[in-house]
Amino acid sequence: MMMTPEQILDVQKSNLEKILGLSQKSFSNVEKVVELHLNAVKSYMEDSVEAVKALSSAKDIQDFMAVSSSVAQPLSEKAVSYSKDMYALSSGMVSEAAKLVEEQVSESNKKFVELFESASKNAPAGSEGAVALMKSALTAANTAYDSVSKATKQAVEMAEANMDAATSATIKAANTASSKARKAA
């Protein structure tokens, strides 16, 4: 079964629409990253001014240490939050791209199977063994692709869980260090 020029144009149009959609999402993501960077820099500048004012008003070394630790905790929390937001933006974009690739592979695979089925109906007599072997190979390839796809999704989920655990551990460690610094002062 051959594709008609109209079918080819429809496939190309569909692919172009998907690529344009991904491009728009990518640009939107870039805008979000720029906004996140600008907000982080603005916040850092404001926090730095406040920290310098607070540190310059310290009367002795204990006061300086107490102020220093009280300034450090919110800054570390903001840094962790910033990292988490950046990770969310980048993983969202990767997920969108992976989804598009998965759709394309699935669609191409479906069309290939349809083409193969059509061609196997017109196969010459005596080629049943070769057709069965090809069908078996297609089934094995599809099963392998599904397994790899599932394993990849599980790895991404695990990475996200690890990121959440690391974030929580970092915030807890910062809070503990800040508490110890206040008690020492």
pLDDT of 87 reads: 86
**65 vs 53: CA distance, rounded Å:** 14
Token pair for 40: 């982080």
Kindly report, residue by residue over 61-109, the tens digit of the pLDDT: 888 888 888 888 788 888 888 988 998 888 888 888 878 878 877 777 7
CA nearest neighbour of 54 among 43, 42, 65: 65
Residues 6+ apart with CB under 8 A from 135: 116, 120
Token pair for 4: 């008609």
**18 vs 12: CA distance, rounded Å:** 10
Is pLDDT at 45 greater than 60 in this prediction? yes
Give residue 42's pLDDT band: very low, low, confident or very high (50, 70, 90): very high
pLDDT of 46 reads: 92
Is residue 44 within 8 Å of residue 127, measured between CB atoms?
no
Residues 6+ apart with CB under 8 A from 8: none
Type of residue found at 70? S
**158 vs 6: CA distance, rounded Å:** 44
Token pair for 53: 């004012």
3-state SS assignment for residue 27? helix
Kindly list the domain boundaries of the chain, sorted by start residue.
21-184
What pTM does this model have? 0.58
Is pLDDT at 118 greater than 70 in this prediction? yes
Residue 132 has, within 13 A of its CA and on its CB side, a CA count of 4
Quick one: what percent of the chain has pLDDT higher than 70? 92
DSSP classification of residue 2: P
Residue 43 has, within 13 A of its CA and on its CB side, a CA count of 14
